[in-house]
Amino acid sequence: MARTWKPLVMSKAQASRARRTALIALFAVMSVALDSMVTPGFSSGIWSGWVFVMSPITGMVLGPRDGFIATLISVMVGHTLVFRDSAFEFIFTLGAPIGSAISGMVFRGKRGKILVYYAALLAAYFLTPVTWSLPFWGMWDVYLAVLVLLALIALERRERSNLIRDPRTLAALSALLGLEADILFRIFILIPCRGYSVFYGLTPEVLAMIWSIPAPLITPIKVAISASIAMLLIPSILKVLKENELGVDLGHSDES
């Protein structure tokens, strides 16, 4: 008697978990490829690879939690495949998944919590004595991000959030705030945690030179590139997700 095979039917919960796992894997693989692309002459500043292009988009599409997981996997694998100058880079690159999660939070309207993050790390920075001899303008892009975040929160409280519900605008702002949060974490490790001395043996004088140039110039350019790409891609990605019943609600504060 021939055996009859029945098609495998997954429950909604199983299908949801399968889609979630597939999306995490997909974005992780794409980010690994970008993190492994170390471009000579454009590796100064915060990121030596090109993961900064993908990490905000990953957070916006997958959400804070899954975006964090996918980006964490990608930078760990990418840094292993293309080893940087020091093993300490594995500590600094933890800023990438944090930034990805924050991009996802901004995209979903969770901006109050992000302000606490920025305030805490900036306070730690300015309370560290060595920063008093560093050029103030060396973190001008972080200060700009704080002003943007405060403006977003103010608009929401005045019930003008429709001004920032446009997917392109929201994608650019989410990328900006996520990447600057990434930068701020790395600065926290470098300055308040004394990574510049413990990890690299730098003196305050050498640190001041690095703080002047080229990082304050190259890093904002990379942020602008990422924000521009996010503006171009996010509307199309949202359309595809909506067609497959995986849409992202811009005003929904979920926990994913």
DSSP for 179-217 reads: HHHHHHHHHHHHTTT-HHHHTT---HHHHHHHHHTTHHH
Task: State pLDDT tens for residues 23-64.
Answer: 999 999 999 999 988 876 555 557 888 999 999 999 999 999
DSSP for 96-120 reads: HHHHHHHHHHHHTT--HHHHHHHHH
Domain boundaries, the chain: 16-243
The reported pLDDT for the residue numbered 144 is 95
7 φ/ψ sector (left φ>0, alpha ψ -120 to 50, else beta) = beta
Is the per-residue pLDDT at 182 higher than 60? yes
Burial class (CB in 10 A: 0-12, 13-18, 19+), 160: exposed
Task: State pLDDT tens for residues 214-255.
Answer: 667 888 999 999 999 999 999 898 888 777 666 555 544 444
Task: State pLDDT tens for residues 183-226.
Answer: 999 999 999 999 999 998 889 988 888 888 766 788 899 999 99
pTM of the model: 0.88
The reported pLDDT for the residue numbered 112 is 83
Task: State pLDDT tens for residues 69-116.
Answer: 999 999 999 999 988 878 888 999 999 999 999 999 999 888 888 999
**What is the torsion angle, in degrees rounded to the nearest 10, for the CA atoms of residue 59, residue 65, residue 68 and residue 69?**
-120
Is the per-residue pLDDT at 147 higher than 70? yes
The reported pLDDT for the residue numbered 245 is 61
